[in-house]
Structure 1
Amino acid sequence: MGGSTSMNEVLQRFDTVRNAVFRLVDQWRNRPSQTPIVPQGNVAGTALIIVIAIMTFLACLTLGGVSLVRDSAATWQSQISKEATIQIRPIDGEDMEALLAQARKIAQGFAGVTSARIVDKAATARLLEPWLGSGLDIDELPVPRLVVVSIDEDQPPDFATLRAELVRSVPGASFDDHRTWVDRLVSMARTTVLIGMSVLVLVIAATVLTVIFATRGAMAGNDHIIEVLHFIGAEAGFVAREFERHFFRTALKGALCGGGTAILVFLMISWWSSRNLATPEADQAAALFGNFAIGRDGYAGVAVIILLVSLLTMITTRLTVITQLREMDNRGSEAI
């Protein structure tokens, strides 16, 4: 009798738990369509949007900087292959204008030189203006004068022979093909690009980790509903889809805000640069970094980052949910 009574109590308790589970499932199935497993618009969701917006903004800024430096390095390499410079230092008793004319004549006589141009006094003063100020009198300053030599990129001249002839024939002359310092600038630019890409990878990795923690927090907040749905037969893919849809929308909102802000910053910098092109300082900056415009490729890269962040968030959420459900199954198996 005692055993029979205990069995009846166990069966009654089982029926009570089963009925409670069925009521919970019916409530969830009959919930309004706007009430998903993951609640919308909570504090955690808003914070995640802000974090993703910040991460996307930093990633877009990094990509824009990398694109700017890369394009500048390509421009430097292209320009240096087209021009070289003859520098003539002032020497007492020598006519500078005659030395400039002689150097130009020698350079034009070499095959591979398309033209040679003397930088006049006014242009020389403009080059020195950022450092020495305006109103310079070149005749009163012991500054060297320049001859710009245009080079045929396909068939360049013999630089060693040209340099030796200039040194021999023109007092105070030296020939610079700029390759030494341009190689250093290009090397620095490539290093900067590598550092920028590393920062971009770190930002994306931080975003993925943030999404993982946010997904686990959302699952912990809805643990009772997920467990019931999972143990009565709901597939892991169904639960994962509920979460990935929510987090994809959240990530897309944040990524659009961050990417849009980055585009606005790029446009403002480009506008400021275009408004200040007439100043010597802006000319020097433009010589190094162009007009600070990232171009169509840069803006396309921003769009790619927005989509990439959203898709990575969705994929990360799905994998996290499936992993958590497997751990839940393992705990249930061990309990049995």
Structure 2
Amino acid sequence: MSFGLISSRADRRLLPEGRLAGPMPWVIAIMMFLTALAAATGLGLGAAARTIGNDLSGKLTVQIVEANPDIRDAQAQAVERVLRGQADVTALRRVGEAEMAALLEPWLGEAGLLGEDLPVPALIDVSLRDGDDKRVEAVEQAVRKVAPTARIDRHARWLEPIIALIGSLQWLAAALVGLMAAATASIVVLSARAALNTHRETIDVLHLMGATDLQITHLFQRRIALDALFGGLVGLIAAYAVILLLGDRVQAMGSDMLGAVSLSGIDRALILALPFAGALLATFAARVTVIKSLRKML
């Protein structure tokens, strides 16, 4: 008997390895397909959460709420001067009236209701070095010294429910990967037991010829490992094709939020390693199952 991954002719005569005939490789292929999709979903959502968090963590909007346009403009100018003197402020921009009109046009129409007819708060977009609470509080205090009625909105707060939802979906994806791994191990156990029953007479002959349980176990675990690797690669190829197709569809939508759902090089490497991890899991499950079963036969 040989102990490499490539079995000898004698080993194949003892234990045929028809990887296209049995159901186990195809069941594992389905499991790997679902596992790869779940893993890609979890990793992509994690990347989206990090991207959104980094983009919005230091973003603020200052609203000068004042009906009198002269007072509103004076307070807005004072806020701009104060913010330019803050070391943590990296950029600021006042939203112009034309831009405000364009933003409100879908709701108010083209009647030109800005200005005296409809007082609209002055908006100032502010970018900080980061979203540290102390930096944000310092900016808030500086703004309220010159504009006590100003409102300061942190962009990150707007998307906190979405970030929480993304976190829940990540945990769900991780749970699905774990369930698929457990299901794969169960399939391997059942397949190993079925193979032992099928080749029981061969096992008895090998025992009479002096073969040890370890040698017989090696035959079965190698066959199951190759079957699992074959099924895993088939499932991964199918899943990767779906991932690429969905990625193209998401990019075509042009949505910044959906576009943040992407896979890095490390994420892709982890997904590509799934079939090999599945083969290792199958090998371990087969080894434990076969050794326990052989001990009961004696």
Counterpart of 1:283? 256
Q: How does 1:57-72 map to 2 (within 5 A)?
A: 57-72=33-48
Q: What is the CA distance between 1:231 and its match in structure 2?
A: 3.9
Counterpart of 2:81? 105
1:212 correspondence with 2:205: no
User: What SS does the corresponding residue of 2:273 show, helix, strand or coil?
Assistant: helix
Counterpart of 2:15? 37
Structure 2 residue corresponding to 1:84, chosen from 38, 60, 69: 60
Q: What is the CA distance between 1:145 and its match in structure 2?
A: 5.3
Counterpart of 1:263? 240
Q: Structure 1: which amino acid aligns with 2:207?
A: H
- The structure-2 alpha-carbon separation of the partners of 1:324 and 1:123, relative to structure 1 and needing over 3 Å to count, comes to farther
Q: How does 1:1-336 map to 2 (within 5 A)?
A: 34-41=12-19, 43=21, 45=22, 47-89=23-65, 91-94=66-69, 100-120=76-96, 132=106, 137=110, 139-140=112-113, 146-153=123-130, 158-167=135-144, 169-170=146-147, 173-178=150-155, 180-181=157-158, 185-277=162-254, 282-286=255-259, 290=260, 292-329=261-298
Q: What is the CA distance between 1:196 and its match in structure 2?
A: 2.1
Distance 1:121 1:260 in 2: 53
- The structure-2 alpha-carbon separation of the partners of 1:201 and 1:284, relative to structure 1 and needing over 3 Å to count, comes to closer
Distance 2:216 2:84 in 1: 77
Distance 1:70 1:315 in 2: 30
Distance 2:191 2:205 in 1: 21
Distance 1:174 1:108 in 2: 18
Output one character per residue of 1:286-320: Cα deviation in whole Å (capped at 9) or x when no partner. 3xxx1x32121121011221110011112211221
TM-score, normalised to structure 1, is 0.72
Q: Structure 2: which amino acid aligns with 1:295?
A: S
Contact 1:117 1:149 in 2 (8 A): yes
Distance 1:326 1:251 in 2: 25
TM-score, normalised to structure 2, is 0.80
User: What SS does the corresponding residue of 2:18 show, helix, strand or coil?
Assistant: coil
Q: What is the CA distance between 1:202 and its match in structure 2?
A: 1.2
Output one character per residue of 1:87-117: Cα deviation in whole Å (capped at 9) or x when no partner. 345x544266665444333322333212211
Percent identity of the aligned residues? 26
User: What SS does the corresponding residue of 2:152 show, helix, strand or coil?
Assistant: strand
Contact 1:38 1:218 in 2 (8 A): no
Distance 2:137 2:256 in 1: 32
Distance 2:208 2:111 in 1: 89
Q: What is the CA distance between 1:189 and its match in structure 2?
A: 3.6
Uncovered stretches (5+) of structure 2, i.e. residues with no partner: 1-8
Distance 1:218 1:199 in 2: 28
Contact 1:55 1:203 in 2 (8 A): yes
Distance 1:100 1:253 in 2: 66
Q: Structure 1: which amino acid aligns with 2:15?
A: I
User: What SS does the corresponding residue of 1:140 show, helix, strand or coil?
Assistant: coil
- The structure-2 alpha-carbon separation of the partners of 1:157 and 1:240, relative to structure 1 and needing over 3 Å to count, comes to closer
Q: Structure 2: which amino acid aligns with 1:326?
A: R
Contact 2:232 2:278 in 1 (8 A): yes
Q: What is the CA distance between 1:33 and its match in structure 2?
A: 6.6
Distance 1:157 1:79 in 2: 18
Output one character per residue of 1:140-180: Cα deviation in whole Å (capped at 9) or x when no partner. 37665532112134998753353245346448631123454
Q: What is the CA distance between 1:191 and its match in structure 2?
A: 3.6
- The structure-2 alpha-carbon separation of the partners of 1:209 and 1:120, relative to structure 1 and needing over 3 Å to count, comes to farther
- The structure-2 alpha-carbon separation of the partners of 1:316 and 1:138, relative to structure 1 and needing over 3 Å to count, comes to farther
Counting matched residue pairs gives 285
